Each structure stands twice: as C-alpha cells, then as structure tokens.
Structure 1
Amino acid sequence: MTDDPRFTAGFWDERYSSADRLWSGDPNPALVEEVSGLTPGRALEAGCGEGADSLWLARQGWTVTGTDVSQVALDRAAGHTPPELAGQVTWRRTDVLDWMPETAAYQLVFTTFLHLPSHVRRQVFAGLAEAVAPGGSLVVVLHHPRDLTDGAVPRPPEPDLFCTADELADDLVPAGGWTVHTREARPRTVTHEGREVTVHDAVLRAERTA
C-alpha cells in the first residue's frame, strides 16, 4: 500500500531499540474516557507499541490482543506484563498494511496515533471496523490536524497523515450500521521542552449496530 520506510518493521524496531522506553507507560486518556463505561469482552489493539493501553484494558477485565509491526515493541510489552495479566493479554506481530483481523470478532477494536497516508488509512481502518462485533465499539484517537498550525508540539508537516474525527466518522457512513457516540477535537495538556502546552486529539467512538 505504501513504500514509505516509516511504516516498516525495520524502522520501528530501530526506533524502539534507540531508547529503553519511548512512551510514558500511561494509558491514553481519551481511550480511558471512551472505554470506561463499556462492558469488558474481547478487545483488539492495532499498533500497541510498548503495551500501556492493552495492559490498562486487561486490568479492567478485557481479554486483549495487542498487535504491532515491531517485535522489539512487543517483546518490551511482554516484559511489562505482570504475571496476573498473562492470561488476559496476547501480543502478536502483525503489519496492518497487509493483515486483516477476524471479522466481527471483538467487542472493542481501537488504535491510538496510527497515522497513515489517507488512502492507506481508509483501507486499514475499514478492516479494523469490520473486526467489530455487533454491539461492539470502534475507538480511534489521532493527533488532530490543528496541531499542524498551532505549533505547540512539532508534527510532521504532512497534512495527509492527519484527519479529523468527522472525517473518520464519514468513512464509516458508506458501510452503514454504525452509531457515532463521539466525534470531536479534544484538547489535552502535555509537557514539551519543560513547559505545558495544549494539543488536540481527534477522537472517534462508534458502536456497530448491525
């Protein structure tokens, strides 16, 4: 779907190998807010990285499959998994660019900050949506395109890698059978270069109704 090296296993293995930890280890706050009221079941995370979100879900009672293109990230996630959660989380190496998850198999499918070119994103996210069982939820959290102009935190100057929650929701409309509960640009305070700044996330939560 793309020959950009930034979307390859080699790129991400090298990036994860460059540091003991890339991310904070805390669950994504938008994911926590959107999922906290849902009944636990089977969950699939695309792009789990070092595993913080999948492990948080497992602690809430979900049975989670965390997938990532980087084996280095998955090994690190496995190392972060406490013994009491070992039976609730499965770490699986997959490349979302050429992998289709099982259809209608999960009560929750989610991804955070999985930024892809628009033509690739639509195809990949359509496959993730198909993996949601009736009554289940799709949750997507991305950096909002307004971050490109606000300048609070540097983002790649490539608008095609960014989209709004409305655009994500509109991609579901042709398929039908969805109720959109959340579609917004949500502000979030982060620390960048020693000072607190505001960034924005595109947050989508949709329920599959048919």
Structure 2
Amino acid sequence: MDEQEWDERYAARESLWSGQPNGALVSEARDLVPGRVLDVGCGEGADALWLAARGWDVTALDVSGVALERAARQADVQRLKVAWVHSGLVEAQLTDASFDLVSAQYPVLLRTGDHAAEHALMRAVSPGGLLLVVHHAEPAGGWQGHDADDYVLPADIAAVLDEDWRIEVNETRPRNVANGAGAHHTEDVVLRARRLR
C-alpha cells in the first residue's frame, strides 16, 4: 500500500486502531530505561504516546499524513512531545545508530532483494540498543488477500542479523485485542535483538 491508499484507509474511519499501545511493546519496554526511540509505522500514535508518557524521546514515522495528524492531535491533548516524521522507513533521513530502541509493530515493509527495510531498521539502532519487531503470525490462507511473501517479517530480519547482534527473544505469543483493525489475529511473532557493537 502506498501513501494515498493508507490515507484513504484512515480517512474512511474515525479511528482505525484500538487506541491502546501494542501489548508486545508494553511487555518488552515497560522496564527499560527511557532513551531515544524510533516508532516505525506509528499509525495513530498509541505506541508513541505511551512511550513519551514514560519519558522516552520519541521519533515516530508513518507514510500516512492522515494518521500523523490524528496522532499529533492526541499528543497535544495529552501534552506530550513527539517528533512526527511523514515518511516511509527506507526513505526517511535518519541518523545511523541513534536510537536506543527501534520498535516496529506490525510494519508494512516491502521485501526487496537487497533487504533495504531490514538494513534500515538495523542501522537505526545504537550499539547496546534494542530492535523490537512484532508481526501477526500468518494464518492459513494468508492475510485477507495480501501475500505475506511480499512483506518483511520477523524471520526475515532474524536471518540478516550478523555477529554484531544477539537475538534475545524470537517466539510466537498469544494476542488479545478486542477492537480495531487486526483484532481477529490471535498470535504474534515477537523478535527482540540487541546490537552489540
């Protein structure tokens, strides 16, 4: 999906997602010491706002201007500071090795032969920092007309991590979301990797 398609999808509903931070992010980040975090594909901003409220210095990016406007309004209401970036991940002008945590919750990243998205995620993490990628476990028959082979999944990222990385978590977990798009998914794959140098 491109920017226009995402804008149309968001514009068709008052809110697309649940408005709550993703459970895997909460589980993995609640005990971390706040630092600089990149929220990839931030959507309407629930994860970014949860992180900002806990003292993180948040940069949040998304291709949808409609989603970012909603997120920024919520940040104003909650009096939280977030740097909103209107961009895709690969195209974003990010400083290498500048984030203590890079969080990609259900990212829609196209798979390419040069692994551009995977390397963009990895480059953003500072030495000692964490990369957290969460995606839906693929149900039988794929994802409502989308071919999972077109998109980067946690397994793709795990496959390109080298000796500069240590995988700390790579597992499938139950997912319990009552409302919002994606509520029908019942399992997630969680990948957490630490950059050693």
TM-score with structure 1 setting the length = 0.82
Aligned position for 1:204: 191
User: Does the Cα contact within 8 Å between 1:144 and 1:164 map onto a contact in 2?
Assistant: no
Match of 2:158 among 163, 169, 176: 169
When the two chains are superposed, the root-mean-square deviation of aligned CA atoms in Å is 2.4
Instruction: Kindly provide the CA deviation profile for residues 156-207 of structure 1, in whole angstroms up to 9, marking residues without a partner as x.
Output: 351304666444312212xx31111110111213448xxx966211111111
Change in 2 beyond 3 A, CA 1:68/1:164? closer
- The corresponding residue for 2:3 is 9
> How far did 1:100 drift?
4.6
Report the identity percentage: 39
Larger Rg: 1
- State the Cα deviation string for residues 50-89 of structure 1 (Å, max 9, x = none): 0000000111110101111111110000111145643x31
**For the Cα contact (< 8 Å) 2:166–2:193, is it kept in 1?**
yes
Pair 1:26 & 2:26 matched: no
Contact 1:43/1:63 (8 A) holds in 2: yes
Q: Across the two proteins, how many residue pairs are aligned to each other?
A: 194
CA spacing shift, 1:186–1:163, aligned 2, 3 Å: farther
Structure 2: gaps (5+ residues):
none
**Kindly tell me: are residues 190 and 121 of structure 1, through their superposed partners in 2, closer, same or farther at Cα, counting changes over 3 Å?**
farther
Runs (5+) with no aligned partner, structure 1 = 1-5
1:113 maps to 106
Asked whether the equivalents of residues 110 and 117 of structure 2 are also in contact (C-alpha less than 8 Å), the reply is no
Is 1:140 paired with 2:133?
yes
- Partners of 1:207 and 1:180 in 2: how far apart? 6
TM-score by length of 2: 0.87
Give me the whole-angstrom Cα distance separating, in 1, the residues matched to 2:43 and 2:170: 24
- The residue type equivalent to 2:126 in the other structure is A
Which of the residues 66, 73, 76 maps onto 1:72? 66
